[in-house]
Chain A
């Protein structure tokens, strides 16, 4: 509940900040994510993700933004009977960051809050009563840079770490990991 309140608060701050926005960026990053949990890594493996985002620069240094991490939906064979299973981890994220403007090179650091949904399905009649379908808020840490190749077009890369520990049943599972992203975006100046 506290985390949801924080997420809501940051989202409101983001909306308020748009009043003072000097420009905003729209972009699409994609890349690969790692998985902290060794069992998940063994059964489902790492996976490709995409991350569309919108961020607002309220000053030359401060950015607010939101995005959506999707794409991690994997299939595997689970348990001693190698039964078919799938796992999906996706979720929206809002963030605040600090960036430097060094001519066309914009390095930045961000901290955010994600609200991830995770769902595992196992095709086994023996475990039908176990539903793994939950949501959890978490902080995110990221850093990267943008390079403006044109006045309105940039290329960027980012490394993001998301800790995400969940425990829907007896086992505590770390769904978190590092994202390695690359992508492009557009800048729209408002003032």
Chain B
């Protein structure tokens, strides 16, 4: 009996020892993992804030910031919290001329059909909105002519400032990237009305931030951007004392603070330096498009010296747009976009957002801000994830690539990810931003700027290594409780583009005794379309009639690229629109031509 008892005692002793050992090991593992988290939390660093922005916020009550020039012209550029210092002297590949490429000594978008008529911002501090749309509308021209509503942009940007209190390019980017706009000018004309529920006519999926000039002759990046995309948004300091109204020439010798936004539309390397009020060290000037009406300057345009101390030396941007027919669902938390950056003292960081599918549309693209002059990324899509674990569940897609300029980019996935309504999925991004140790773009609620930013637990996560994650809402003692990672994703189908090179030629058909007049239309298949086109729809309206007068003229087979509108009289003129229809039954945005 005693032997049996002793045996039982020994077994119990071994079990107990094992249990204690297991507990110790488990505690140790837990300790280590919590230590990792703590270490991750400790390592996080926010990017330096733009001192100009801090100065502005501090000086708000004193109203030190100029609202008008001495002559009474309205300004409107306000500093962003984002600091540009790191990108100066960076020359991204995208805006570096190849050795054989020689830029012309002069270039003017006014001669290229890439500019809309000059607009007038009135007494409102909305130059930034006009400059932003100056770039966007120019990008779409000459094939598509749009007039977007600046009023809707300044009314609905969502930031703390009122409609006429100014703004910056990041406010415009945030408004456009979240699909609040652009809406058409005729839907929301330039008069305060605060119209809501208007339809965005384009999807702005890419905004390229063209690096600032590092010195007076570092102009190739801006010049290449103008030639490649059209008008470039830029900021400047404007004062009447620096402006020679005889030659419409501007040169700011000293001031390093922005107050006005315009668009660069060309340059002239031989612009005479004596035409400026104060003679700069050398010749040459950019051609800039202002928003003070066509009675100002050279029909609304003016020349800014290459030697200007601020012009083109802050954020410059090119805004690009796509048809709205592609992406149907947008998954996002960062409605106010990029306001600050975080990093782990490294050029590389991980970030993730967890979403719930709102439809069965496949996930086909991911967008984010990349701050470096060169940025490598890895995108991971996980489906059926568990809460607060961005990389749990099933890895549905992984893609990687390189971006050769800073900006807001949308990356189409090579293969879409199937989703079911209600399904939880995560978008995980590993981003490396060259020479910049704050690769995580976040929407942060800055007081007097973006204070309406809101976030909840379980939305945005960041990590230094992709394995230990911090929820932005719950970590760092709530410092980032209302911050989200700027990482959007899109569901739907590839965008559907209108036909390319839509042209109209007036042809006379000679019947000896009389002539038949023909509007001969021609177009090409748009190479950007990745989905099968089943027809082209051609619409017509009398030239002077309103938009609503368009009527379907003909639906044409997809292999037909011309149409003769016959039987016209000598004085009979029309405008035409053509759109592509794909196998999903979607109709593209139209492109328009007229006699």
A and B interact physically:
yes
Chain A positions near chain B (C-beta within 8 angstroms): 37, 39-40, 43, 78-81, 85, 120, 122, 125-127, 130, 132, 166, 168-171, 173
Nearest 10 Cβ contacts at the A-B interface: A126-B567, A169-B514, A126-B566, A79-B509, A132-B513, A39-B512, A130-B514, A80-B509, A168-B513, A169-B513
Decide if the interface of chain A is mainly helix, strand, loop or mixed. Answer: mixed
Which residues in A have their C-beta under 8 angstroms from that of B512?
37, 39-40, 43, 78, 120, 171, 173
Q: How far is the CA of A24 from the CA of B511 in the complex (A)?
A: 44
Q: Which of A40, A81, A171 interacts with B514 by CB under 8 Å? A: A171
> Is the CB of B196 closer than 8 A to any CB of chain A?
no
A93 to B570, CA, bound (A): 37
Whether the Cβ atoms of B516 and A126 lie closer than 8 Å is: yes
- Nearest-CB distance from A172 to chain B (Å)? 9
| B:508-557 near A, CB below 8 Å | 509-516
Structural contact, A171 and B513, CB atoms closer than 8 A: yes
Task: Let me know if A79 and B514 touch, CB within 8 A.
Answer: no
**Known A79-B509, A85-B511, A171-B512; further 6 A-B contacts with Cβ < 8 A:** A40-B512, A79-B516, A120-B511, A126-B567, A169-B514, A173-B513
Question: CA A40 – CA B511 in complex, angstroms?
Answer: 10
B511 touches A79 (CB 8 A): yes
CB-based contact A127/B513 at 8 Å = no
Q: What would 7 A/B residue contacts be, using CB atoms closer than 8 Å?
A: A79-B511, A120-B513, A122-B511, A127-B511, A170-B515, A171-B512, A171-B515
Name which residue of chain A comes closest to B512, CB basis.
A39
Known: A79-B509, A126-B566. A170 touches B514 (CB 8 A): yes
A39 near B567: Cβ-Cβ < 8 Å: no
Chain B residues touching A, majority SS: strand
- The reply on B21 being an interface residue by CB < 8 A is no
Question: How near does chain B come to A73, taking the closest CB pair, in angstroms?
Answer: 16
Bound form: Cα–Cα A85–B567 in Å: 16
In the complex, A105 Cα to B514 Cα: how many Å?
47
Residues on A with beta carbons closer than 8 Å to the beta carbon of B19: none
Contact, CB under 8 Å: B510 / A79 = yes
Chain B residues lying within 8 Å of A120, measured Cβ to Cβ, are 511-513
Report whether B570 and A127 are in contact in the complex, using a CB–CB cutoff of 8 Å. no
The yes or no answer to B29 lying at the interface (CB within 8 A) is no
Q: Which A residues are CB-close (under 8 A) to B513?
A: 120, 130, 132, 166, 168-169, 171, 173
B25 contacts chain A at the CB level, 8 A cutoff:
no
**Would A132 and B514 count as touching, CB distance under 8 A?**
yes
